[in-house]
Amino acid sequence: MINTLSALLSKAGISLTDQQKQQLVSYVGLLDKWNKAYNLTSVRDPQQMLVRHIMDSIVVAPYLKGNKFIDVGTGPGLPGIPLAIVCPEASFTLLDSLGKRVRFLRQVQHELKLDNIIPVQSRAEAFTDQPLFDGVISRAFASLQDMVSWCHHLPAPAQGRFYALKGVVPEDELAELPANLSVEKLVSLQVPELEGERHLVILKQK
């Protein structure tokens, strides 16, 4: 697994420490183990998890600005846990409304000794925190409209951004954005060995 991950990282031009690689592989191991009972992801093959969950998450890291993030609708911790491993200087609140997922996140936190993640069971619209977040991240969580509607109170007024991980460019969703939001950046992401397009939509408040 470490060798496979190292090869994928090399293709993506990403450099990590041995400890970070070990944590990512250990996370896949926990995800695979808990998935059998908790049905956390439809991806069953750990090798595929490396591509479709780990790499698909960490390619976003270079575009994140700030050091306080919230991953809304995190599910089993995606992309929040891989990002927390590769960005140890930043903190990630992992928000999900399902108790079984949050229990899994706490187990990961304990076993991988991740002190920069905060698992929280809550709906996005009911959660708040101070200071506000530099970035609100979502992956396969909702439409852009729902994301900004449910999470409008979470990003800090000036520097806060929305980071939406998408497949193809969501032209329809972009056309219907509220007037107080604009697209700061639309990034085409390159994920080694992953079929299909991947894009990162970065939104800022006007």
Tell me whether residue 78 is annotated as binding.
Answer: yes
Backbone angles phi, psi at 83, to 5 degrees: -65, -40
Distance CA 199, CA 43 (A): 20
Tell me whether residue 124 is annotated as binding.
Answer: yes
Tell me whether residue 193 is annotated as binding.
Answer: no
Tell me whether residue 75 is annotated as binding.
Answer: no
Q: Give Rg (Cα) of the chain.
A: 16
Q: Which residues contact 143 (CB under 8 A, 6 or more apart)?
A: 170, 173
SS3 at position 118: strand
Tell me whether residue 44 is annotated as binding.
Answer: no
* Tokens describing residue 157: 């007024």
Distance CA 133, CA 163 (A): 12
User: Residue positions in the annotated binding site?
Assistant: 73, 78, 124-125, 139
User: Residue positions in the annotated binding site for S-adenosyl-L-methionine?
Assistant: 73, 78, 124-125, 139
